[in-house]
């Protein structure tokens, strides 16, 4: 018997189809929720952070934290551990993680016209067509971002990704399930020694990715009969040193017999390869209306292996922390609109775990006392000593890490 993956557009009657396929085949069902929960357990990342990997909205800190890449790596590990050799139906996003080389996988897409999906969303949710269109579009964007992340394709419904594309608006769930179940019995998707080995290779590649990720490296990994191939897709200043480091980590993984490294198509892009340093602050939000100052400060922190993002006013900063999770904020006291004092108050009311460092070029002792009373981690005068600021950010980061460790 084969493995079945089912990737569906929103509001395409996927649940009745899934239930009917399970009834016909007796396959075990593996859902995204099950894989996310296991990935969270393996990684100690919150389920919300793992699930965000499926979203088109990437954190502004991701180029420093690599949280999305980390989440995808642990999703692979979770799936590799949960999935048997066959007789399983993997739904939605996680099914796309099974490599194409596992040829006893029947890859199914369930999709319908945009008009059909909007009408179904409006009917099922009891909302207007306009609201339904936004709901469907959001799911479409998430699906497209996921496929772009995995396959560098922007069309999530590209027929080249699937063995069967089923029009949900032209076929009943029962008929769709019958078509899927019948094709799962086809000789074309029966397990072979080669396809079983490909599944073993997938598990070895994932184990290697995990070993590399735990050391802060996020690269493309492939396995073939014990040979690991690591591909670097970003520009590297000291390529040979990186290759040796990656190779030394991969060689320690049980089952790896040899390791080779190469550079991929993206190697000559402007992005610089950045190993994640778990000890350094990687979620620092700078808030200042002086654009030239804050951009220069951001660049100087990056040079010190810190991960800053920038907001140019208090309102933008408060909106940003609703979506992202800065750990340290550096906020100018005097800004138009919502000033630094108000930002500090609101942050400490809603997200007290965030450490806030106040900067000022015009502050007085009364301002300093008030800021510290409201919970500021530090109060610094401009012009800044970058080394002093770096030390304070590190101390704030250490305080945050101690709090997290005490909760484990």
| pLDDT tens digit sequence for 208-221 | 999 999 999 999 99
386: tokens are 């970058």
- Residues 59 and 65: beta-carbon distance below 8 Å: yes
**What is the per-residue pLDDT for 161?**
95
pLDDT reported for residue 271: 64
Do 338 and 318 touch, CB atoms closer than 8 A? yes
* 3-state DSSP helix/strand/coil % of the chain, to nearest 5: 50, 15, 30
Per-residue pLDDT tens digits for 21-56: 999 999 999 999 999 999 999 998 999 999 999 999
Residues forming CATH 3.40.50.300 domain(s) in the chain: 3-189
Using N-to-C axis directions, what is the helix angle for 386-407 and 291-303, rounded to 10°? 70
- Chain region(s) in the chain for CATH 3.40.50.2300: 284-407
Q: Are 233 and 133 contacting, i.e. CB atoms less than 8 angstroms apart?
A: no
Q: Mean of the per-residue pLDDT values for the chain?
A: 93
pLDDT at site 323 = 81
Specify the pLDDT at position 82.
Answer: 95
Percent of the chain with pLDDT over 70: 98
Q: Is the CATH number 1.10.3470 carried by domain 193-268?
A: no
In SS3 terms, 239-301 reads as HHHHHHHHHHHHCCCCCCCEEEEEECHHHHCCCECCCCCCCCCCCEEEECCCHHHHHHHHHHH
For residues 29 and 95, the answer to whether their CB atoms sit within 8 Å is no
How does pLDDT run along the chain (408 residues), one tens digit per residue?
Answer: 799 999 999 999 999 999 999 999 999 999 999 999 999 999 989 999 999 999 998 888 998 889 999 999 999 999 999 998 889 999 999 999 999 999 999 999 999 999 999 999 999 999 999 999 999 999 999 999 999 999 989 899 999 999 999 999 999 999 999 999 999 999 999 999 999 999 999 999 999 999 999 999 999 999 999 999 999 988 887 889 999 999 999 999 999 999 999 988 766 555 667 777 777 888 999 999 999 999 999 999 998 889 999 999 999 999 999 888 899 999 999 999 999 999 999 999 999 999 999 999 877 889 999 999 999 999 999 988 999 999 999 999 999 988 888 876
Q: Under a CB-based contact definition with an 8 Å cutoff, are residues 128 and 186 in contact?
A: no
357 within 8 A of 376, measured Cβ to Cβ: yes
CATH number for the region 284-407 comes to 3.40.50.2300
Cβ 18 vs Cβ 168: under 8 Å:
no
Domain 3-189: give its CATH architecture.
3-Layer(aba) Sandwich (3.40)
Residues 2 and 104 sit within 8 Å (Cβ to Cβ): yes
Q: In the prediction, which pLDDT does 267 show?
A: 60
> What are the tokens at 126?
């009891």
CA distances from residue 152 to 161, 210, 244 in whole angstroms, order as listed: 12, 22, 28
Residue 270: per-residue pLDDT: 55
User: Look-up: residue for tokens 């394709």?
Assistant: 153
Evaluate the CA torsion angle 148, 153, 158, 164 in order and state its sign.
Answer: negative
Q: How do residues 156-169 score in pLDDT, each as one tens digit?
A: 999 999 999 999 99
């Amino acid at each position: 018997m084969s493995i079945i993956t089912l990737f569906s557009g929103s509001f395409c009657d996927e649940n009745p189809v899934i239930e009917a396929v399970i009834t016909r085949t007796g396959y075990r069902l593996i859902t995204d929720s099950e894989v996310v929960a296991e990935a969270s357990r393996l990684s100690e990342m919150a389920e919300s952070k793992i699930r965000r990997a499926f979203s088109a909205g990437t954190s502004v800190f991701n180029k420093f934290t690599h949280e999305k890449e980390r989440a995808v790596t642990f999703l692979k590990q979770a799936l590799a551990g949960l999935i048997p050799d066959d007789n399983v139906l993997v739904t939605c996003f996680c099914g796309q993680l099974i490599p194409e080389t596992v040829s006893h996988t029947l890859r199914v897409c369930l999709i319908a016209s945009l008009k059909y999906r909007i009408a179904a969303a409006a009917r099922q949710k009891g909302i207007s067509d306009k609201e339904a269109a936004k709901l469907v579009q959001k799911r479409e964007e998430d699906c497209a971002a996921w496929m772009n992340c995995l396959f560098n394709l922007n069309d999530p419904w590209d027929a080249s990704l699937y063995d069967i594309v089923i029009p949900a608006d032209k076929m009943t769930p029962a008929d769709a399930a019958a078509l899927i179940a019948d094709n799962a019995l086809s000789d074309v998707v029966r397990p072979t020694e080669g396809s079983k080995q490909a599944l073993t290779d997938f598990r070895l590649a994932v184990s290697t990715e995990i070993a590399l990720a735990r050391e802060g490296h996020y690269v493309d990994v492939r396995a073939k009969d014990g040979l690991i191939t690591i591909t670097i897709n970003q520009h590297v200043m000291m390529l040979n040193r990186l290759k040796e480091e990656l190779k030394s980590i991969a060689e320690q993984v049980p089952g790896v017999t040899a390791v080779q490294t190469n550079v991929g198509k993206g190697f000559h892009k402007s992005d610089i390869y950045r190993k994640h340093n778990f000890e350094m602050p990687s979620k620092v939000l700078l808030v200042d209306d002086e654009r030239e100052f804050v951009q220069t400060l951001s660049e100087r922190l990056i040079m010190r292996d810190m991960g800053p993002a920038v907001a140019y006013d208090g309102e933008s900063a408060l909106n940003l922390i609703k979506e992202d999770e800065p750990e340290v904020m550096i906020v100018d006291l005097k800004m138009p609109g919502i000033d630094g004092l108000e930002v500090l108050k609101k942050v400490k009311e809603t997200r007290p775990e965030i450490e806030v460092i106040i900067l000022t070029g015009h502050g007085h002792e009364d301002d300093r006392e008030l800021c510290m009373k409201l919970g500021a981690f530090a109060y610094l005068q401009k012009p800044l000593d970058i080394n002093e600021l770096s030390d304070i950010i590190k101390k704030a980061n250490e305080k945050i890490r101690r709090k997290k460790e005490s909760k484990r």
